[in-house]
Amino acid sequence: MPKLLTELEIKSRLVGLRGWKREGDFITRTFEFGSFMQGIRFINRIAKIAEQKQHHPDILVRYTTINLSIQTHDAGGLTKKDFDLASAIERLLPRRKKKIGA
């Protein structure tokens, strides 16, 4: 079974994840899409990664809003696996372009 992370490790790993926050024993993030089908396509991409990693997020769909919650259920809290999955999900998102002159 994976080892639970310490509070310090959790805080440190959250710093590197844009938009993710801790809610109890989960890390969560909300994503907004322009249409229902854009959100569903995003979920399908997440599903492929989750299957490869054998680590699956809780997913709540509310029209164009997708809420993800990640926890290592069998460990009863947050482990390295959770942050690895969140990082992989982040790589699915388009990179933000920097403004010229910023």
* Predicted confidence (pLDDT) per residue in 36-87, tens digit: 999 999 999 999 999 999 999 999 999 999 999 999 999 999 999 999 999 9
| 8 A C-beta contact, residue 86 and residue 21 | no
Prediction pTM value: 0.89
Query: At CA 40, angle to CA 85 and CA 81, rounded to 5?
Result: 10
Q: Where are the beta strands (DSSP E) in 1-102?
A: 21-23, 26-32, 58-62, 65-70
Report domain 7-90's class.
alpha beta
pLDDT tens string 20-33? 999 999 999 999 99
Q: Which tokens is 1 given?
A: 């079974």
